[in-house]
Amino acid sequence: MPRRDLTRFADLPHHSFGSVAEFLAAPVPDGILTIDYHGSPLDLLVQRRPGADTTLVLFHSALSPNMQTLPVFSGLGVTRGLDVNVVCVADPSLELDDELNIGWFSGNSRQPLQQDLPGVLRHVVEGLAAEHLAFFGTSAGGFAALLYAAHFPGSLAVPVNPQIILRDFSDVDVLSYGRSAFGAPDLAAARTALTERISGDLRETYAGRGDVTIGYVQNLRDGRHFWRHLSHFMLAVQDTADLLVLADDWGMGHVPPPKSVNRTILETVAGARGDWAAALGRLGFRGGLTFEDLKEARAALPPTEAAAPASAAPGPTDAPPAATDRAATAPAPAGAATAAAPAAPPVATAGSGAFPGHPRRAASRCAWRIGRRIASLLPERIRPRAAAVARAAARQGRAAARSARACLRRCAASVRASAGRRTP
């Protein structure tokens, strides 16, 4: 159960502001910046690098089971020592509910973050006085990186395995966010809220515009995000967006690239001097290929793992686009791993084992998500117990990947026992 605790950042100065208006009227200091945002905090972490010509804005992903305190600032380790100003943003919606682990930096009924955060970031960026601006995030943070980069023409967005269409993400997460943020009583109402109350579809954000460079990073084995999100984004922006894609094999499921890959990308961004396409191109990002090339690269993986999972089949936007989509993929960045030269089709991957992924982390996430899925199907009165069992399964899954299956069996047995004891 995450709780607010700033003692982890005791070595950094802490500055408080009574409102967004007060913040916008003040100089931008270094350290932790906490804004009273309609009754709950909006936190940023600012690290100024004297002489840096680039500012990098980072957004965190969904909370994992081992995250016990708020706020969360992602990317401090991977950016350490880079000649770049760093701005980390913590999602204020996570303060709403102890069980809420994802908010896509999109706000809630009290905090219209999608309207207010661009002005906050603009004030910070102008205060740092760097010439170039880039946004980075993984998963939910990747959605935010794309969303807010759109407010800054000429900027760069580097989303890693991002969600694109929020209503088509996990039912559990959509319902959890819709209920906590907008009071949605059920999944249908939550999906409506993510469509009508916020900008929850990045195809609409980027259709018809090409003033932001996008360096899209996608794990080929992440079937849900490959089919439900990447494919439809590419179809929507194929004729206009300045889109380059790096696709590779980093392990089954929603697994990010190793930190070494992200570090190499961010090092290159820090030294790009705003020439985003050329800098990403030197790392292997390429534009001008089609989604058919990406599908062929994915199909070239071992057949039992390359097929689209059954869980990616339902939903209004899940089928792969029939039209040709323009995008690109290429090997991992130089220095992060070795990859063979591309064969026909002209798509190269490092699927030979250079990036085995993180099996223990994947097992932990699998245990946690399946446990939460089970919990969502149970009566309201016993969901807290089921969620606690899911977190316990996740902790044990982290301890050893092989134990994840046993954890899930215990999770299911405990949930069934709870349901038998507490339901009429």
Please, which residues have CB within 8 angstroms of residue 25's CB and are 6 or more apart in sequence?
none
CB 268 within 8 A of CB 279: yes
**Could you report the per-residue pLDDT of 323-361, keeping only the tens digit for each?**
333 333 344 444 443 333 333 333 444 433 333 344 445
**Within a domain: 17:** yes
pLDDT over 50 (residue 202): yes
Share of the chain above pLDDT 90, in %: 62
**Could you report the per-residue pLDDT of 49-89, keeping only the tens digit for each?**
999 999 999 999 999 877 779 999 999 999 999 999 999 99
**Within a domain: 188:** yes
For residue 233, the domain's CATH number is: 3.40.50.1820
Question: What is the total count of domains within the chain?
Answer: 2
Last residue of a domain, one of 304, 327, 350: 327
- Determine the structural domain holding residue 405 and report its residue range: 359-422
d(CA 164, CA 218): 12
> What's the Cα-to-Cα distance from 64 to each of 103, 110, 175, 395, rounded to whole Å?
13, 25, 18, 10
Q: Is the peptide bond before 345 cis (omega within 30 degrees of 0)?
A: yes
Q: Which of 109-118, 302-311, 315-324 has the lowest mean pLDDT?
A: 315-324
Determine the pLDDT at residue 239: 74
Helix (DSSP H) and strand (DSSP E) numbers for the chain: 15, 13
Q: What pTM does this model have?
A: 0.76
Average pLDDT over residues 367-386: 62
Which DSSP state fits 42? E
**Could you report the per-residue pLDDT of 205-252, keeping only the tens digit for each?**
998 888 999 999 999 999 999 999 999 999 888 777 799 999 999 999
| Tally of CA atoms within 13 A in the half-sphere of 344 that contains its CB | 0
Last residue of a domain, one of 287, 309, 327: 327
279 and 380 in a single domain? The answer is: no
Query: Residue 375: helix, strand or coil by DSSP?
Result: helix
Last residue of a domain, one of 276, 304, 327: 327
